[in-house]
């Protein structure tokens, strides 16, 4: 599974690229203040549920969570 490295990206950039990558899920893009809601919707997708990707709880920033996603997906 491929996902984007968030380093050097703004939320808007990373969110748009990731939403496009998973366009079939119709998550769209959201403002940064809604990152947790968007992340939790993404994690609800079967692929992520089965891969051990955590929801937004326990992460202070979207970058922390995106790095978790990157690390988890690179193991699968």
**Structure letter (DSSP) for residue 14:** H
Domain contains 11: no
Domain contains 70: yes
Could you list the residue range(s) of the whole structural domain that residue 46 is in?
A: 29-75
pLDDT tens-digit readout, 41-71: 998 877 777 788 899 999 999 999 999 998 8
pTM assigned to the model: 0.86
Domain contains 12: no
Total of domains in the chain: 1
CA distances from 25 to 45, 58, 59, 64, 67 (A): 8, 24, 23, 23, 21
Domain contains 16: no
SS3 label, residue 69: helix
Average pLDDT score over the chain: 90
Q: Would you place residue 76 in the very low, low, confident or very high pLDDT band (cuts 50, 70, 90)?
A: low
Domain contains 36: yes
Q: Say which residues have a Cβ less than 8 Å from residue 42's Cβ, sequence separation at least 6.
A: 18, 22, 25, 27, 48
- The tokens for 48 are 């992520």
pLDDT of residue 45: 77
């Amino acid at each position: 599974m491929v996902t984007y490295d968030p380093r050097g990206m703004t939320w808007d950039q990373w969110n748009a690229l990731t939403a496009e990558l998973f366009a079939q899920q119709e998550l769209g893009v959201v403002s940064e203040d809604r990152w947790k809601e968007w992340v939790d919707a993404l994690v609800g997708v079967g692929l992520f549920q089965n891969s051990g990707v955590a929801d937004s709880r326990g992460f202070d920033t979207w970058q922390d969570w995106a790095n978790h996603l990157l690390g988890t997906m690179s193991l699968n």
